[in-house]
Amino acid sequence: MDKLKNKLGFICDMDGVIYHGNTLLNGVKEFVEWLYNNDKKFLFLTNNSQKSPRELKEKLKRMGLEVGEENFYTAALATASFLKSQGASTAYVIGDAGLTNALYEVGISINDVDPEYVVIGETENYNFESIRKASILVNRGAKLIGTNSDITTPTESGEVPACKALVAPVEYATNRKAYFVGKPNPLMMRAAMGRFHAVGIHSADVAMIGDRMDTDMIAAIESGLDPILVLSGVSSRETVQKFPFRPRLILNGVGDVARDDK
């Protein structure tokens, strides 16, 4: 634990690490207080594309947790950054405001007639008509993008379908494979690490705390970060045994870091 506590920076997943749905997980307040009290740089990184950093800030505030807007980075922002780097100007979007706003902010307009890209993220407005339209557009030549490759996401009621599950029908209908931007894609991790590099903190000094072996831990290992798994979300100790790689440390939740100080 001492090795973890000596890290200068922390990248933390949100769903299953900080909260489930609208419920803050045990020990999170104490952990965030520990980060601030020890002058740690931190970034809450989420593959979920539904909310903007401002909305995530407000969501945590409603739960009684104050975190600055600058401490969030989402798969929607990473996806928008990627499409801008590809010279995109139009996209058909299946997703919520966090994704569409991120695309607008980099100059990409929404187009359901002849878009260059079809972009799919998490949404509660998923329906057959959107799948039908997306499939037609991809068959006409639009490139298929998923904001992240999570199949499920944890909620208060249990695991529910996430982005990759929503993209699958379009992939099957068009015989095209999507390109997924979020974790564990190094694109998103490099963008996140750019926040730390700006203040002189490098990968060896950063821990990645997540609840998924298939995204968070792979992302940490391949990006040279300290891989820390928490059991408050998707993965369990039994899950770990199914993978050919290991986290360096397994915690019950992020609160363990603060409790170890007492």
Point out the least confidently predicted range of 41-45, 172-176, 213-217. 213-217
Among 207, 221, 198, 204, smallest CA distance to 257 is for 207
Residue 176, token pair as written in the block: 């095209």
Task: Give me the residue spans of the domains in the chain.
Answer: 2-47+183-259, 76-180
Cα 163 from chain centroid (whole Å): 11
The answer to whether residue 261 is catalytic is no
Task: Give pLDDT, residue 261.
Answer: 60
Residue 45, token pair as written in the block: 């990184």
Of the listed 2, 15, 114, 150, which one is catalytic?
Answer: 15
pLDDT tens per residue across span 86-105: 999 999 999 999 999 999 99
Among 162, 72, 75, smallest CA distance to 124 is for 162
Question: Which overall architecture, per CATH, does domain 76-180 show?
Answer: 3-Layer(aba) Sandwich (3.40)
pLDDT tier at 158, thresholds 50, 70, 90: confident
The answer to whether residue 13 is catalytic is yes
**What number is the average pLDDT over the span 226-236?**
94
Of the listed 2, 13, 112, 205, which one is catalytic?
Answer: 13
- pTM: predicted TM-score of the whole model, two decimal places: 0.90
Residue 80, token pair as written in the block: 């928008």
Task: Give pLDDT, residue 175.
Answer: 98
Distances (CA, A) of 148 to 46, 47, 250: 10, 6, 24
Task: Give pLDDT, residue 86.
Answer: 97
**CATH node for 2-47+183-259:** 3.40.50.1000
